[in-house]
Amino acid sequence: MTLRMKTLLTISAALAGLIAILFIVSQGIISHQITEAEEEGIRQDVTRVTGVLSSFLDGMVATNSDWSSWDDTYQFIEDKDQAYITANINSNTFNTLDLNLMVFVHESGEIVESRAFDLENEIEVPLPEDLLQHLNSDSPLVHHPSPGSTVKGILLLHQGPMLVVSRPILDSMGEGPVRGSFIIGRQLDENVLLQIETITRSGLEISRLDSTGMPADFIDA
């Protein structure tokens, strides 16, 4: 299997692969005898949840664009001046933007800067090791064929699923040539699930389809 296939992403506005990545079940549906009305309720719940996730990703696209289409970032990816990092990236940045991850990748494939942050404990943490395999030059996360390119979706990591958005690094006018990629990520953790539950008024559980510890009622459903 190629790296491109292993990188489980939804490109552009589509979230068609979301259901294959996450198995989302309303907590109240456990019975083996699911009625037609209950099935319709589940479909509506899934539609609402995927809609909220899509909105979350759209918000992250806007955040990413503020950084990726910016003269300062455009210059930094070339000169690697750490004054840019000192002035712009700290714990307040992650807390304000509600992000766990920022990665700057030069068009050559070099990771110029990467930062990961634990929002719950408010500390900087190492970059997830399994994320690196998705930052290969062949990955859609770091290969943007045009200034209008956007990659967004859910990336499965060892520590859990992460919402990710990658856009090309451009000048403040949104013009190229493309100098690299800026990637941001938000862990799909309990805090995010709580926000989704509040918006959709649905109780949620999320499990990987390939998980050996998947609850029995998930499998039966």
pLDDT of residue 24: 44
Q: What is the pLDDT along the chain (221 residues), one digit of tens a residue?
A: 554 444 444 444 445 455 444 444 444 444 445 566 666 666 666 777 777 788 889 999 999 999 999 999 999 999 999 999 999 999 999 999 999 999 999 999 999 999 999 998 999 999 988 898 889 878 899 989 999 999 999 898 888 889 999 999 999 999 989 999 999 999 988 787 777 777 766 665 555 555 555 555 544 54
Q: Do you find a cis peptide bond into 177, omega within 30 degrees of 0?
A: yes
Q: Which CATH number fits domain 3-220: 3.30.2350.10, 3.30.450.20, 3.90.550.10, 3.30.70.260?
A: 3.30.450.20
Question: 6-45 burial, b for 16+ CB within 10 Å, e for fewer?
Answer: ebebbeeeebeebeebbbbbbeebeeeeeeeeeeebbeeb
- Closest Cα partner for 183 from 143, 148, 138? 143
The pTM for the full model equals 0.75
Helix axes 36-68, 190-200, angle to 10 degrees: 120
pLDDT of residue 216: 53
pLDDT of residue 34: 57
pLDDT of residue 51: 75
